[in-house]
Structure 1
Amino acid sequence: MVPFLEIDFLWDCFSGEENLFNGISSDPDKLRVFRSDPFDYHSIIDALRGCSGLFYSFEPPFDQPNYDEYMADVEVRAAHNVLEACAQTETIDKVIFTSSATAVVWREDRKTMELDLDERHWSDVNFCRKFKLWHGVSKTMAEKSAWALAMDRGVNMVSINAGLLMAHDLSVKHPYLRGAAEMYEDGVFVTVDLGFLVDAHICVYEDVSSYGRYLCFNHIINTHDDAVQLARKLTPGASSSLQQSDDYGKSFIEQRINNKKLNKLMVDFEA
């Protein structure tokens, strides 16, 4: 297995190197850091030169931290420029495009579907716009734009549609959480731990058989107590008012989403 820091190119959109690598000791002979503007095509080309793989993820710029109706245009432009740069870089073998489960779960028919939601499904952008689910709008449009360009240019791309990342700085303001109550009620509110998400990226990158989209999560919020624990994490000051259910672990909402495709790929993966 290739050590994570030996991967040719690590992308963190809009983040400075002091934030990206804060507290990480790394060998300068194995890790190079570039400041690349996703709207500056040439700066992306410079960063990609000689690379064999790209891990792409998008975070809003510091001066516009919140998702709104305009963020989709920003994210689509960034994804388009990065994929176009990859298409022009002969050494790129594979692109791992980090998307979101919000590009899967928001559909008008999600409550009446006979089959569980999985990576074959797409969120309905018009539905998302109607209910101001801007995270879903942005992730869906950006991923579709990336797929269209990848297929047109012959770029070997795989996407990972991640659940809510349970990061230490997770807050109730995270745009993924808009519509959280509905996701919970529908049995599709999924989360992912950082370690599992990293392993999934490495596995998908290294496995030559990986293809298409992969839903990535290792927990689902589908009991009252799961919801209480998450609420306590998001709003620590309100912990005393959040009570655990008397029938802990018994009452649950049926899970209506699955990540069998990723689990099958990772069955023999060793982190």
Structure 2
Amino acid sequence: MTHHKVCVTGASGFLASWLIKRLLLSGYHVVGTVRDPANEAKLAHLWNLEGAKERLHLVKAELTEEGSFNDAIMGCEGVFHTASPVLGHITNPREEILKPAVDGTLNVLRSCKKNPSLRRVVFTSSSSTVRVKDKFDPEKPVDESSWSSVEICEKYQIWYVLSKTMAEKAAWEFCNENGINLVTLLPSFLVGPRETERFKWHGRMGYVHIDDVALCHILVYEHEKAQGRYLCSSTVIDNDELVSILSSRYPTLPIPKRFEQHDRPYYEFNTTKITSLGFKFKSIQEMFDDCITSLVAQGHLSIP
């Protein structure tokens, strides 16, 4: 197929950078939105990508600034909305996380509505939007028909999950009302080569290679029959299983042996919807091999 122009919001982020890398390698022209296009140090990794000098254009846009995505999106056939509020020290979660996540998503989509060239929007959600619930049937893997409970998220102040859930629901409502072709991708915990990452242990979790997530974005954008939500996850395992794998592969690394025990339900993900499009995920071993190789190469780890 002939690759035309697409927009990637939040272009300097970890996932967006990998997505842009894959889009450029596939021949796309990419417009990336960033908060400060003049910040050379923060954007150097993007300009070093193959094809960036010829087919990457970075423009300024702010999630909370109405209309700031108009110029970036106009003329693009596809929009990949990966941008989300930066999580840090939060004093007012509703104003600092929830409102920017929902309003920012609608801001991007209002710009999409103005673009007559638009073919499809791919929205980056999260697998967490399907699994924070009262009841799980351990015999039935969780699929895309599930939604996390807003009430439970509010009760336990799970603001990230709530922001992703509310933003995705707002996106579906807006796109259904305005005839926008929307597909959402729900990745689990991203693993792979990166600058520096602190792994926090949350009990049983789903994991997926960052490159797989980037490729899945392109797959659901290009595939004519893609529609609805797509879980994007390779493996769901408990901490103890992960420790066993890492300890056997990297016996000289100081792998933690004890973790805080969380009372989390057993669950699996049903990813047949994305694999039915022909996708094959990398294994948990490949994910962490790539991650550790990257950390060693950058001097963050040393293997005796």
Q: Same fold judged by TM-score > 0.5?
A: yes
1:228-267 equivalence runs, <5 A:
239=254, 241-242=256-257, 255-267=267-279
Task: List per-residue Cα deviations over 1:32-57 (Å, max 9, x = no partner).
Answer: 11111122232201111211001111
Structure 1: which 5+ runs fail to align?
232-237, 244-252
| Rounded Cα–Cα distance in structure 1 between residues aligned with 2:138 and 2:266 | 13
| Rounded Cα–Cα distance in structure 1 between residues aligned with 2:100 and 2:52 | 34
| Rounded Cα–Cα distance in structure 2 between residues aligned with 1:149 and 1:9 | 25
* CA drift at 1:266: 2.5
Task: List per-residue Cα deviations over 1:170-196 (Å, max 9, x = no partner).
Answer: 3146xxx6xx22xx1xxxx21111111
Q: CA RMSD in A?
A: 3.0
User: Are 1:4 and 2:27 an aligned pair?
Assistant: no
User: Are 1:86 and 2:112 an aligned pair?
Assistant: yes
How many equivalent pairs are there? 241
1:10–1:56 contact (8 Å) kept in structure 2: no
User: Could you tell me which of 224, 227, 230 is aligned with 1:214?
Assistant: 230
When residues 228 and 131 of structure 1 are mapped into structure 2, their CA distance, relative to the original with a 3 A threshold, is farther
When residues 240 and 170 of structure 1 are mapped into structure 2, their CA distance, relative to the original with a 3 A threshold, is closer
Match for residue 93 of structure 2? Answer: 69
2:191–2:207 contact (8 Å) kept in structure 1: yes
User: Could you tell me which of 107, 130, 154 is aligned with 2:155?
Assistant: 130
| Rounded Cα–Cα distance in structure 2 between residues aligned with 1:258 and 1:13 | 34
When residues 27 and 106 of structure 1 are mapped into structure 2, their CA distance, relative to the original with a 3 A threshold, is closer
When residues 113 and 25 of structure 1 are mapped into structure 2, their CA distance, relative to the original with a 3 A threshold, is closer
User: Are 1:170 and 2:197 an aligned pair?
Assistant: yes
* CA drift at 1:214: 0.1
When residues 158 and 261 of structure 1 are mapped into structure 2, their CA distance, relative to the original with a 3 A threshold, is same
TM-score w.r.t. the length of structure 1 is 0.78
SS in 2 for 1:160: strand
Residue 148 of structure 1 aligns to which amino acid in structure 2?
Answer: E
TM-score w.r.t. the length of structure 2 is 0.70
1:119–1:214 contact (8 Å) kept in structure 2: yes
| Rounded Cα–Cα distance in structure 1 between residues aligned with 2:65 and 2:28 | 23
Structure 2: which 5+ runs fail to align?
4-21, 248-252, 259-264, 282-304
Match for residue 173 of structure 2? Answer: 148
* CA drift at 1:241: 4.8
User: Are 1:117 and 2:138 an aligned pair?
Assistant: no
% identity of equivalent residues:
27
